[in-house]
Structure formats: C-alpha cells, structure tokens
Amino acid sequence: MKIDAAIVGIGASPFGRFLPESQLGLMAKAFKAALADAGLERSDIDGLSTHMGSPLGVDYDRVAEAFGLDIRYVNQSWLHGRFVTNALQHAALAVSAGLADVVACVTGISFTRERDLLGGPGDMEGMREEGGTHGEAPTYGLTAPAGGAALSMQRYMHLYGGTSEKLAAVPMQIRQHALLNPDAFMKEPLTLEKHQASRMVVDPLRLYDCCLMTDGAVVLLVTTTERARDLKQKPVRIAGMQGIRSGRDEFIFAPPGLGINQQPATGIRAKPVDQEIYARSGIDRGAVKGLYTYDAFAPLPLFVLERFGFCGAGEALDFVQGGTIGPGGSLPLNTHGGLLSEAHVAGWNHLREMVRQLRGQAGPRQIADADVLQWATCWGDSVLLAA
C-alpha cells in the first residue's frame, strides 16, 4: 500500500515540572492548539493514535470521551518513548487505507508525578524475567534506565575509544539549539566545565548526559495529502517509514553489537536493511537537512548517526566535535533542544519541531532550505518528513 499521509496540525501544552494540570488537561490544551493550527473542528477528527496508555498515560477511550470525539479508528501503543514512531506510522497507515479521515496522534506525559513508575519499586514491568523495559536488569542491580545506556557507551568506548569530554559535545550542542527556543525548559548555556563538574549518574554518564523529567503534551493531526491541500497550513508529507527492529541482538539503548545480550565481540554490526528507508522513499541520505532522535541519554544520537550511515562504526564521537550537530552545523540535530534541554515529551516535541522547520516557522533556529528531515532512533525505526 502506498503511503498517502501528511501532518497538517501541531499543538502543544506548556512544558514544565510539577505543572498543576492533569495529563488529560495538558492534552486538551495541545489538542485545541492543533485544531486551531490546522483550521479543523473536533468533529473532523475520527481517528486516535495514543502513544502512552495506562498506567503512565491516558487510554484512548478516556481521550475520546473527554474531548467529545466520535472515533472510528484507534491505535494505542505501549508505555515508553520508543513507540513515538509506531504511533505516527499507524496514523499514516490508517488515513492511507481509508480507516479514518483525520487521525490525532495524542500524548500527555507527567513524569514529575509518575516517575516512581519508571525504574523504581512501582515499575510493574521492571521485574520481567528477561529484564526491565528500559534495559534494566534488577536482579543484577541495574535498576535505572540510565544503566543500559551507560553499559552500551562503556562498550563503545572500550571498542573505539572516547572520553566523557568528547561525549559532552552532544548535550552542549543540543543546549545551544535550546537557547534559541523560547519553549525550552533549560535556559542557561552548558559549558564543558559545567558538564564535567556535574555528578556522575552511571559511569560514563554525567547529569547533563541524561534527559529532563518534565510534564507536557503534544498533538499531531494526520490526514491524506489531498485533504491537506484545503487546510490552513502548508502540509508536511510523510515521505518514508521503516519500523522498529526487534530480536536477540537488539537493545533499547544501542544498535546491534552494543547491547547487553547476545552481542558479538566485533562491535557494531551494520545491517543494510536498517537503512531501507532511503531506497523505499526514493530520498537519498544526503538530502537530509536535519536529524532528530530520541535523546534520553547523550550516547543515543551517536548510535543513530552510525546505524543510519551518517558516519561509520566508531566514528560518531569524532563526527560530532566542532559544532557539526549544533546551530549552523552540517547536520543540525534536535534543533529545539530535544529531551536533554527542551522537555521530555517522548519525542513528540521533536516531531512538532520538524513540522515547524519544514514550514519555515522555526525562527532563529531555522535550518536553511529545510525540505527533508529525518526522525530516527538507535533501535532502528525512522520516518522521513518532507516539505
């Protein structure tokens, strides 16, 4: 089936910590903003793709009831940030297949209220036999999400070299982007000295190598390209997609070869199928003007750069030095500040920023001639958006 889908509306609540609104209240603000952005009414929405359901989020039926929607297509993903792509892809597939006319991708997050559900004693999934949902292994003392990313980076540094000082280039440049974004939670420059003086969380990850824990909501509206032509905003086309990878050599915080199970001694293993998005979309990787990724921890952008072929195995740390991914760099990354410096809305704030960039609405952080942008994660899923 040919994908025929475009993003036509974006909306967000304020981002912050310990916000007074409920998750549903934050989502309502984002939903109203998305409708106004697209020039649509709530009666136009007949599909929902909810990213986070109960117990961390709000289930689709509660959203439909509270917002007064009449829905004929529903998708609801599991709890965690890795399902951003999945939820957007379901929306694209639904409108392409005629299952819905306009699908609202909805997520609301209240990490500052619900943080005990992630990696702590209240994490019902954390004691699964094979380990926790963020790569934790509680029976071995690995009880926090940062542990999995730290293990992968330790292995990377063992194989290819690298230091904490070089890793600091990632959060420092993402912070530079955030300083150009009035919505970003972090408002102060991040220097190498400040990075190195921050406390160690799990070696080699320091405080500023770890994402924010914030509250907020984002809504994206998806419809067909034909319907999009009649709406208020310039449509942003979903030009290519590839799905999340899973298997023995996959790990939530690393590409194959850097995980904690079933890993070879040779390091990162390139898989041509992991870059099929370029051939399937007819868009060459060299056409990508900006890269967006789930940056819960500083090593993750490095792994994305290598998994998708922007640089070779073991080369990403050198690649990001010298401002490559910062403002004005050759490959700007997370131009809004990402999870590290704007807010943790699981990645939906990244997609919102991509739409603004492709519309030419990003203000002082606008990428020149932005016409193709890529969302990609270290576990292999990706979406190409085009003007």
**Mean pLDDT by groups of 10 residues along the chain of 387 residues:** 94 93 94 98 97 83 96 87 91 98 94 60 57 64 82 92 97 98 96 98 96 95 95 95 87 82 65 86 97 97 95 95 97 98 95 98 97 95 97
Say if residues 224 and 95 touch (Cβ distance below 8 Å): yes
Say if residues 355 and 236 touch (Cβ distance below 8 Å): yes
Whether the full predicted model's pTM is greater than 0.85, yes or no, is yes
Say if residues 342 and 256 touch (Cβ distance below 8 Å): no
* Type of residue numbered 183: D
CA–CA gap between residue 276 and residue 174 (Å, rounded): 27
Say if residues 50 and 101 touch (Cβ distance below 8 Å): no
Residue identified by tokens 């519309």 is 359
In 10 A of CB 206, how many CB atoms? 21
CA–CA gap between residue 108 and residue 79 (Å, rounded): 11
pLDDT of residue 197: 98
Q: What are phi and psi of 306, to 5 degrees?
A: -80, -40
pLDDT of residue 246: 85
Q: What is the DSSP letter of 42?
A: G
Number of helices (H), then strands (E), in the chain: 13, 11
pLDDT of residue 268: 67
Report CA 359 to chain centroid distance, whole Å. 19
> Tokens for 23?
């998750």
Say if residues 183 and 356 touch (Cβ distance below 8 Å): no
Length of the chain: 387
Say if residues 109 and 223 touch (Cβ distance below 8 Å): no
> Tokens for 54?
């109960």
The beta strands (E) that lie in 117-160 are given as: none
* Three-state secondary structure call for residue 217: strand
> Tokens for 102?
């306009």
CA dist 91 to 3, 50, 224, 261, Å?
11, 10, 10, 33
What domains, with CATH codes, occur in the chain? 6-386 (3.40.47.10)
Residues 6+ apart with CB under 8 A from 383: 85, 88, 89, 238, 240, 241, 374, 375, 376
CA–CA gap between residue 196 and residue 293 (Å, rounded): 24
